[in-house]
Amino acid sequence: MIQSLKLNILIPLQYEKSDFSKTREANLQFSKEQTDQLKESRLYDSTEWFHYCFRNKPLEANFQMINSPLLTDNDYCISRIELDSVVRVLTGLHKNENTKYILKGKNDIEFRFGKLRILFTQSSFAFLHIEVYTSELSEKDTLLFLNTFGQVTNNKPCIEYKKKLSRYEEETIKINFKDIILTIINLQSYVPLYLYRNRITPYFQICMIGSNAPDDKLMFFDSVQSLSKRASMREIDTSIIYIGKEPYISRFAGDKTFCIYGDTDTCGDDSLDFLTDIKNGLTKSATENYTTIYAFLLSLQLIAAKNDIYDVDMEYLINAPTRLSDEDNIREFYDKCIFKNGWNLKEIISDFKTRIQISGLNPVKQFVKRWQGTPKNNSNVYFTKSPFLFISYAHADKDIVYPIIKKLQNKGVRIWYDTRLRPGDEWPEEIGWNIIDCTLFIVMLSDAAVLSIHVREELNMANGRHKNPFGVKVQPLKDIKLSPGIELQLSLNQMIDSALSEYDIVDNIFSLISTKYPELIENTTNS
């Protein structure tokens, strides 16, 4: 049974870094006349309208965060603004935070919307932060609740609440969570905000207080971190769990979730108040401290994943502080579950630093120039973050593969393949980096490819980096004896069978790229 659940939803946004100072301006006070004028004129790009919509709410300098660079470092401090209560109605919500909402479904679930905030990092990433509260849920309803909020891109959840019209009358208001998000983003243009990659991609910090049978706990955790709507039958990977100093508090992380779970059965009477006090206990700490740090680390992850990484981004990333809290539980949880075992941020940043160290006398400048550069004459080695296709093949098949590659290039497809490595390049390093950096990985399958240790190593690495390798058979299917390992790695992917002509193979690959990966094609193509 879950006694209380607080869901902190983070939606990545982008903005111009030069607008950061605007988010830290002192709050303006408005008379009723001024307020009425603002409502009437609605000059969205004005300072006044921005401050009418949002209030500056500095992060709390509590004992977990007092020395955090997110509060003290001029280059890394985070700014926070909060939607004014009187403006909540513009989003479709009730202005009162205590209003009860109903999540419609097989089992209607009652909940509340808390604060609506935006956290601004100095990396051009900001995060819409929406607080959601509910209580007294079964484990099944808990999973359903979390799963539904995870489907915001599918126009879910649908929400209802009662609005009083008079002493004896009320009406049912129906709203869509996606519309609430879009309205908040578009409320003003003084600090223009844009959805990251033009889509809503929610991340979740979950704080749950309740009790759970010890034998089922790890499987329940697995369902929570994956936002599943049904109980998992598999135990969670313990590498992403951190217990910390208090054995009754568990912390665990997924790709887009992390959760703090307080167990009321094992906490003892002395700690029960800390777990159950929503306003001042663990739930508040999770929101004020963990969520803030989570947003910052998320900004680093998004920088590392950008295709258009610039020198200022690179400097911001590699110089980013790692000691974000003086509190051991917070610091150790993030170090274990996010930096190391979750997003592998520590490894990613280390990789960037290594590249910079070998790039020249002016590390950042030289590296970024190489990273963003165009292919050199007579070379297809892409030292670039521009999206590109990696082709893995056996050199014995070059007479089949090279014409296919040439025709794809003539269609404007950016391609990297290892025959074009220059003398003196470190073969394993260059291939490894290009597998990491590629957008799409294709392996040209043949008997020779199956027997090639290099192809298998490249395929293994591509799978390990979640590149979802795509197979193209350059021999008829019936003639290729796929090894069990290769078959397993490609089992979830549609393959292109090259019993067809060379031109048909090219057309099939190009159709795949233009449909699913259009960013791999140059704006101007050669016919």
pLDDT, one tens digit per residue, over 65-120 is 999 999 999 999 999 999 998 889 888 899 899 999 998 877 889 999 999 999 99
**CATH, range 377-520:** 3.40.50.10140
- Number of Cβ atoms within 10 Å of the Cβ of 228: 16
What the block records as the tokens of 192 is 């223009």
Q: Are 507 and 473 contacting, i.e. CB atoms less than 8 angstroms apart? A: no
Structure confidence at residue 492 (pLDDT)? 52
pLDDT computed for residue 319 by the predictor: 87
pLDDT at 41: 82
CA-to-CA separations, 453 to 426, 462, 463, in angstroms, rounded:
18, 14, 15
For residue 183, which of 81, 16, 53, 55 has the smallest C-alpha distance? 53
CA dihedral (190, 196, 202, 203) positive or negative? negative
> Given this model, what pLDDT does residue 459 score?
84
Distance CA 218, CA 311 (A): 42
Contacts of 504-513 spanning 24+ positions with Cβ under 8 A: 505/404, 505/472, 505/474, 506/404, 506/407, 506/408, 506/411, 509/404, 509/408, 509/442, 509/472, 510/408, 510/411, 510/413, 512/470, 513/389, 513/408, 513/413, 513/440
Kindly state the tokens that stand for 452: 């090639």
Check residue 372 and give its pLDDT: 43
Give me the phi and psi of 316, to 5 degrees please.
-60, -40
What's residue 285's pLDDT?
Answer: 87
| 338-350 pLDDT, tens digit each | 888 778 888 888 8
Q: 423 falls in which pLDDT band (50, 70, 90)? A: very low
How do the domains of the chain map onto residue ranges? 2-352, 377-520
Taking residues 13-22, what's their average pLDDT? Answer: 93
- Convert the pLDDT of each residue in 228-287 to its tens digit: 888 888 888 888 899 888 889 999 988 899 999 999 888 888 888 888 888 888 898 888
Read off the pLDDT of each residue in 211-219 and give the average, rounded to a whole number: 81
Query: Looking at residue 308, what is its pLDDT?
Result: 60
The pLDDT of residue 295 is 95
The whole-number pLDDT of residue 20 equals 95
444 close to 472: Cβ distance less than 8 angstroms: yes
Per-residue pLDDT tens over the stretch 451-505: 777 787 788 888 877 787 888 887 765 566 666 667 666 755 566 765 567 788 8
Confidence (pLDDT) at 428: 64
What pLDDT does residue 381 have?
A: 42
Element holding 47 (H helix, E strand): helix 47-53
Cα-Cα-Cα-Cα dihedral sign, residues 356, 359, 360, 366: negative
Q: Which of 29-33, 202-206, 335-339, 425-429 has the lowest mean pLDDT?
A: 425-429
Amino acid at 383: F
Q: Is the confidence at residue 145, as pLDDT, over 60?
A: yes
Q: What's the pLDDT at 23? A: 95
Tell me the per-residue pLDDT of 372-393, one tens digit each, with 9 for 90 and over.
443 333 334 444 457 899 999 8
Predicted pLDDT at 481: 66
Statement: residue 181 has pLDDT above 50: yes
Give 294-338 pLDDT, tens digit per residue: 999 999 999 887 756 666 788 888 889 989 998 999 999 998 888
pLDDT mean over 407-419: 86
Task: Give 221's contacts (C-beta < 8 A, 6+ positions apart).
Answer: 236, 241, 250, 252, 259, 261
Global pTM?
Answer: 0.69
Give Cα 404 to chain centroid, integer Å: 35
pLDDT band at residue 358 using 50, 70 and 90 as cut-offs: low
User: How much is the pLDDT for 198?
Assistant: 81
Residue 34: is its pLDDT beyond 80? yes
In 319-465, alpha helices (H): 328-334, 345-357, 363-372, 398-410, 427-437, 447-451, 453-464
Cα–Cα distance, 357 to 370 (Å, whole number):
13
Q: What are phi and psi of 22, to 5 degrees?
A: -60, -30
